[in-house]
Structure 1
């Protein structure tokens, strides 16, 4: 059986993959109903914002580099960096440049909803550097 750390990191990688594919229905299923973030988004607002930010991409790949995973009693934090590459119109190149230049890691907090290894749900995410930029 996988450790909580491995389970949470696997769900996180699945979530990143769904976001890169812009599969918002799939990504939404991995987000907790009580999700909230430092930008005051709830679950629906977070998915809507991500959808709007990434809609201009014709092609998008998001590579995730995990720097640390901590897990304790059904709560896990996955820290790391996202690197984006792709092509598209609108603000696509600016979004890629901004994300790829971040020095502070993203922190995603996951909660295990049941005994099942795939029951992890995203409850929050943050990035201090992005917050300081005013986004």
Structure 2
């Protein structure tokens, strides 16, 4: 009796396995590859890449990770204040030295993409855990009426290869002798 139950149980278990044919496996693999491909197309869209690069750039600034900040900036960088890549990193390092717990918040950012160039535009507000620094930030940056424009260039055919090439804000004045 016990042997009969054991055999019936094996038959039931065996009958519950679904056999997958080669054709079925092929279609499952094809559907999976299609889903992964669509995900990469979505992930690597230029607009999304520029948004992510900008967020990660701000994150590196907030954490005062200056080598990472420099890595986001292209070798051809220049801005309206006459800074190149090395100068802008040094200015940020000096400026953020006195800002404790910095946070950068962008409100309603927009991205305009042209083939190998994209411009990220948004009003930026800087926050600090230090009240004295906040007073200065409110006066110099947070009160600006015009948005910042960060121009990114795609350096190669790789969809993730974007570098910051230019920063603009017509209302922000930085004297050349201030360092």
TM over 0.5: yes
Asked if residue 123 in structure 1 is aligned to residue 161 in structure 2, the reply is: no
For the residues of structure 2 that align with 1:76 and 1:101, how far apart are their CA atoms? 26
SS in 1 for 2:105: strand
More helix by share: 2
For the residues of structure 2 that align with 1:78 and 1:30, how far apart are their CA atoms? 14
More strand by share: 1
Q: CA RMSD in A?
A: 1.8
Asked if residue 47 in structure 1 is aligned to residue 85 in structure 2, the reply is: no
- Alignment deviations for residues 47-80 of structure 1 (CA, whole Å, 9 cap, x no partner): 0011111111221111122432101111000000
Alignment-derived partner of residue 10 in structure 1: 52
For the residues of structure 2 that align with 1:43 and 1:30, how far apart are their CA atoms? 10
For the pair shown, the structure with the greater C-alpha radius of gyration is 2
Alignment-derived partner of residue 134 in structure 2: 93
Q: Is the 8 A contact 1:9 1:78 kept in 2?
A: yes
Q: Is the 8 A contact 1:78 1:109 kept in 2?
A: yes
Going from structure 1 to structure 2, the CA distance change for 1:66 and 1:117 (only over 3 Å counts) comes to: farther
Q: Which runs of 5+ in 1 are unaligned?
A: none
Q: Displacement of 1:87 after TM fit?
A: 2.4
* Residue among 57, 69, 78 paired with 1:36: 78
Alignment-derived partner of residue 17 in structure 2: none
Using CA pairs under 8 Å that are at least 6 residues apart, name the structure with larger relative contact order, 1 or 2.
Answer: 1
For the residues of structure 2 that align with 1:67 and 1:13, how far apart are their CA atoms? 11
Q: Which runs of 5+ in 2 are unaligned?
A: 1-40
